[in-house]
């Protein structure tokens, strides 16, 4: 069930990111003064312009990564990036930088990655970081979704 919730969240973020500048009406604060969408409801805070305020500062960001969307929910926080590079250098970057930041890699990480994408899991203290990556031949871009739980 948790995986279904996270899949829904990723699809929702991608949908919101594709909307561009728009006026979204909710019962709570909505800010569309800048390019992008920022929506805050009782349970979800979504932005196409910034990371959640409590985003861990020790999670690395790949050079020239474009933030498509970020969300904070009761289940965790996510950031979705688009990168104009192939999957291998992006994967190598996260392997190296997460280790430098003191995160322990899950022993199954290498088994969960292919040349088209996969998931890497890291743990440090009480937090778990799931990094999901996929490369699209059609766009020559790598998508990265970082989930903090």
What domain range includes position 116?
2-148
For the segment 16-73, what is each residue's pLDDT rounded down to a tens digit? Answer: 444 443 444 443 444 444 478 888 888 899 999 999 988 999 999 999 999 999 999 9
- pTM of the predicted model as reported, rounded to 2 decimal places: 0.76
- For residue 36, the model assigns a pLDDT of 80
| Phi, psi torsion values for 117, nearest 5 degrees | 150, -170
HEC readout, 116-145: CEEEEEEEECCEEEEEEEEEECCCCEEEEE
Q: Are 55 and 147 in contact (CB under 8 A)?
A: no
| Phi, psi torsion values for 48, nearest 5 degrees | -105, 10
129 versus 31: which is more confidently predicted? 129
- Name the DSSP letter for residue 57: T
- Measure the CA–CA gap between 103 and 124, rounded to whole angstroms: 5
What's the number of domains the chain is made of? 1
- Residue positions counted in the chain: 149
């Amino acid at each position: 069930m948790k995986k279904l919730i996270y899949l829904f969240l990723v699809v929702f973020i991608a949908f919101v990111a594709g909307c561009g500048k728009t006026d979204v009406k909710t019962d709570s604060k909505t800010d569309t003064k800048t390019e992008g969408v920022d929506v805050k409801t009782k349970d979800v805070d979504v932005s196409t312009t910034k990371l959640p305020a409590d985003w861990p500062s020790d999670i690395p960001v790949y050079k020239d990564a474009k933030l498509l969307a970020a969300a904070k929910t009761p289940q965790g926080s996510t950031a979705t990036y688009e990168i104009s590079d192939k999957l291998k250098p992006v994967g190598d970057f996260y392997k190296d930088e997460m280790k430098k930041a003191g995160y322990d890699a899950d022993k199954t990480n290498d088994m969960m990655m292919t040349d088209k994408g996969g998931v890497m899991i890291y743990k440090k203290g009480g937090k778990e970081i799931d990094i999901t990556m996929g490369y699209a031949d059609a766009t020559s871009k790598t998508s990265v979704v970082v989930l903090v739980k």
